[in-house]
Structure 1
Amino acid sequence: MKHSTTPQTRSGRGPARRVGRTLAFVLPVVLVFSGTLAVAHVNWSGSPSSPVLAAADTAVSGASSAGASSRGAARAPHEVLRDTLLVELRRENPGVVLTHLQQAVNDRPSLARHCTSIARALGREAVRMYGSTKAQSFARPVCDTSFASGVLAAHG
């Protein structure tokens, strides 16, 4: 008595086996390739890739080389970054500046805790320059939408 209408093969060369063999070959190749790309994308030189970070690093290194007597006058990297981005906002549109803020935080994770205050300051300045409607059009999810909350705070 036969229960199945499809012919059974003992050799095991069905489509499932072909798919399994293809995945077994392709998957490691894809993983190695993606890992190579990820390693190639990392900035191994130690110097910042963002011009905004370069300005912040120059200001910090200049302040630290001034000596211990003027340490009170030294500015924190996040303050330098905020001021640099505010100056840049006067030349570029807020979308470009927000991209530079995100790059700075990605390149230097210690700036992440100051990201929201910097983005809010950028939002307030954008409202002053462009008006609330135009400024809101540049909002993106940088630093948990702090730019948008800065726009809202300046508008309200």
Structure 2
Amino acid sequence: TLHPQALHQPIQTNRLGGPVCVTQPIEHNRFDWNRHSIAGTGAAGSGYVARHNIELGTSLSHCFDIHGGRDRRDGTDIAGRSIEIHHNTFRAPETPIVIRGVPQESCRVHHNWFPRHSNAAEAVEAESGTLVENNAYGEHAH
């Protein structure tokens, strides 16, 4: 489990563009100035749980990411086995969450606050297999 940290301005060593690329729960962190604050390879069987994190507002791209088969060029559309993103705050103006394929089991995005986005389509970019529900949108929604 990765917790609590202030993670910003990473040195990019893996070309994923962010300070965190793990399969363990990622919780109680403050992120700022990252390309992707959390990134997953999306390989079959992989995934992550991201909960109780705050994206402070400066992001160079989308904040939380999981790659799909097109990114790996492995002939699949797999974006990991299971992803759960909940109880986070995303203050960055960019699209906060991008799921770049189809999870083998599920991807759930719930109970997050997106103060700079007015609806799910602005806040989460995903293909089939991703459930987006019970989130708050807009500055005064929380």
TM over 0.5: no
Structure (1/2) with the larger helix percentage: 1
Q: TM-score range by the shorter chain?
A: 0.3 to 0.5
Higher Cα radius of gyration: 1
